[in-house]
Structure 1
Amino acid sequence: MRRLQAMIVKEIWSLLRDPKARIVLVFPPLMQLFVFTFATTLDVSNVQVAVFDQSQGAHAAELVQRIEGSPNFRQVAYLHSTAEVERAIDRQAVIAALVIEPDFDARLDRGEPAQVGLVLDGRRSNAAQIVNGYIAQIAGQMNREAVAQLSGGGVEVTNWFNPALDFKWFTLPGLIVIITSIAGIAITSQTVSRERELGTFDQLLVSPLRAHEILAGKVVPPVLVGMFNGTLFLILAQLVFGVPYTGSLLLFFPSLVLYMFSLVGIGLFVSSLSMTQQQSFLGAFAVTVPLMLLSGYASPIENMPHWLQPITYLDPARYFLTVVQGLFLKDLPAGAVFRQLWPLALIAVATLTAAGRLFRARME
């Protein structure tokens, strides 16, 4: 235990003795949290749309006014022919053009649902689909109100887990997973290669420390750094960004520890393979990008090709992302958390075992 304690203290001091290194441990992840939270918005705002109103009635005018009053649209351009609609979309003057049919007002007056046409710029597919959702919501709400006035009925919409549909409630828990991953692998991937470059790796070989003690000493500091960053992000998410945390802290921290162990195993494996810190950096980058893309943060796993989906089961970020988002937004029960933790524990054991065997092989 004394040798192990000395090794852990030595690794912690190697991380903290350099003032620049201390700043790198906390400041870049903190900056990434603030920048990415606003940069990865799923909202589309300040866009320009066009309207081709063939009805010229009161209901059509009200629909246009609702669109103009939406904070998502900067300006509404009025067009007078199909040719103008084509030119506006072709020149990218607008991202969408709303075409109101001539019988729009007449159908609403009879209590019948009325349809409108929407021409979207497919070159900006993601933004166009979001604009489509905005306009469809406005038109659908007006349709329901008009029909409800005549029939006495209506539809009440309730958004569970995110009542205000605030994008930060969805993106920020995922960013905690992603930024913790980047920092954890980046720090760990430099440990062994840094020893080789500084010439201290040979001193470890002739020291009384055993291989598993050296390995354990290199595992603990990155885990502690990850725990600190994860705790800091958890606090800032609530106090600064207003994202509620509805789950149990007793479930969050054990999940974070298991996740950090799985990341440290990956980082140590990369570091043991590398001879220089530059190789470690490139290896960490090669591992981190697939880790993020396959986690389900950028796009749902269900939307990925069928042959790619089984590979995501090897990604520890997939399981921790489910846990963090569930604990933040819907008070994920302990049983559901444990169903995500046992694969995470298997990945941690597998990565640490592989890193340990490679590390011993490099020491011989």
Structure 2
Amino acid sequence: MIQRVLSWFQYLAVLVRKEFLVIFSDPANRIVLFAPVLIQSLLFGYAATYDVNRVDYAILDLSHSQTATEFVAKLDGSGIFQRTATLENSQQITSVINNREALAVITIPQDFEQKLTQQQASPIQVIVDGRNSSTAGAAGSYIASIVQQFNQQRLKNTAPLNIETRIWYNPNHESRWGIMPSLIAALSMMQTLLLSSLSVAREREQGTFDQLLVTPYTPVHIMIGKALPPIFVGLIQSTIIFLIILFWFQIPMQGSIGLLYLGLISFNVAVVGVGLSISAIALNMQQAMFFTFLLIMPLMLLSGLLTPVQNMPQVLEIATYINPLRFGIDLVLRVYLEGAEFSQVKYDFVPMIILTCITLPLATWLFRNRLS
């Protein structure tokens, strides 16, 4: 029994070594195939927009005055702001922002109306989630615009309101802070997906696929042997990007490195499952590259990298649930910028695990049919 297990792993090691030799000795001069312009243009038109047509916000009204009620009604009636929570105390703000229940939390102080009636400036506090800097900036601008309108219409004879804004997780409001950590998942996905999708297709095109029929390799051997090298390469790329972000751009890491890499491993395994399924279907490298580039752009557009998922049409928002990149980016951002723990990001693992449980058995089944 032990000898059989050792023999199984020896076969696997040989196949993995062979895959690494192919990957690292290949000059990687791949021909870029025709991309489906129609699908990409539709996705750009619907998904790739920086216009913010909905801002989820929470209100903490400590005043409970008539003027505060009118101000909140002004927000609710704007057509842009959607109230998702009415808070009772300031301790609830952290959970609302961390759980992405609200992009902004507006706090109206207890002496709000009293100061206004005494001709004193009465500040309201706006806390904005800065993990998506472009959306946070737009939300802040919309709130400022509504405050200005409220001052002109309601407070003609009293002191104006002021806004005190604090941006969490991105204190300097730099777009780089939201974009760069996302690339830890996004860039590794492209390389991992391409390498895994070309693996079996390369065997067929080079005429070596039929040789697997006379080897002791099982479909499980082939699947694992061809999955490990792309996962390894993806993790190397993620590490390089991570080090550049941390040391060159000096964006501080708030969370656990172990949790970050656990998420990256789960993400890369899910992506490899998709790539191996493509590779098992494609008859040659040309088809594999075509299917890969057909898939990469929708995955990017529907990931939340370019625009928040909440701003997409409902049909596209539902489609993002089968996109591992959406949850990979969300996990990386929350761990890197927010310092989230496993209990806070555990639901990002679920879609990636489900996708893995579907695609890897599918790839194995396709290999078995090809080898039979």
TM bin, normalised by shorter chain, reads: 0.5 to 0.7
SS at match of 1:159: strand
RMSD: 3.6
SS at match of 2:279: helix
The answer for the alignment partner of 1:317 in structure 2 is: 325
Return the match for 1:9 from 4, 11, 17.
17
The answer for the alignment partner of 1:222 in structure 2 is: 230
Q: Which of structures 1 and 2 has the larger relative contact order (alpha carbons within 8 angstroms, sep 6+)? A: 2
SS at match of 1:157: strand
Matched, 1:277 2:285: yes
Q: CA deviation at 1:314?
A: 1.0
Matched, 1:200 2:200: no
Return the match for 2:312 from 273, 279, 304.
304
Q: Which runs of 5 or more residues in structure 2 are unaligned?
A: 1-8, 31-47, 51-118, 122-133
Tell me how far apart the structure 1 counterparts of residues 164 and 299 of structure 2 sit (CA, whole Å).
40
Letter in 2 for 1:205: L
The answer for the alignment partner of 2:264 in structure 1 is: 256
The answer for the alignment partner of 2:41 in structure 1 is: none
**Does the 8 A contact of 1:194 with 1:276 survive in 2?**
yes
Cα 1:133–1:153 change in 2 (3 A) is closer
Matched, 1:357 2:365: yes
Q: CA deviation at 1:157?
A: 2.0
Q: Which runs of 5 or more residues in structure 1 are unaligned?
A: 24-39, 43-110, 114-125
Q: CA deviation at 1:267?
A: 0.6
Matched, 1:178 2:186: yes
Q: CA deviation at 1:259?
A: 0.6
Q: CA deviation at 1:276?
A: 1.2
SS at match of 1:308: helix
**Does the 8 A contact of 1:184 with 1:263 survive in 2?**
yes
Cα 1:207–1:152 change in 2 (3 A) is closer
Letter in 1 for 2:320: T
The answer for the alignment partner of 1:103 in structure 2 is: none
Cα 1:217–1:189 change in 2 (3 A) is same
- Choose 1 or 2 for highest CA Rg: 1
Cα 1:314–1:206 change in 2 (3 A) is same
SS at match of 2:249: coil
Identity of aligned residues (%): 31
Tell me how far apart the structure 1 counterparts of residues 178 and 267 of structure 2 sit (CA, whole Å).
20
Return the match for 1:242 from 247, 250, 258.
250
Tell me how far apart the structure 2 counterparts of residues 284 and 152 of structure 1 sit (CA, whole Å).
56
1:310-332 deviation per Cα after TM superposition (whole angstroms, max 9, x unaligned): 22111111111110111121111
**Does the 8 A contact of 2:187 with 2:238 survive in 1?**
no
Cα 1:157–1:308 change in 2 (3 A) is closer
**Does the 8 A contact of 1:15 with 1:22 survive in 2?**
no
Structure 1 runs (4+) greater than 3 angstroms displaced: 150-155
Letter in 1 for 2:211: Q
**Does the 8 A contact of 1:192 with 1:272 survive in 2?**
yes
Q: CA deviation at 1:133?
A: 4.2
Q: CA deviation at 1:3?
A: 0.6
Q: CA deviation at 1:203?
A: 1.1
Tell me how far apart the structure 1 counterparts of residues 274 and 254 of structure 2 sit (CA, whole Å).
31
Q: Scaled by the length of structure 1, what TM-score is found?
A: 0.64
Cα 1:307–1:152 change in 2 (3 A) is closer
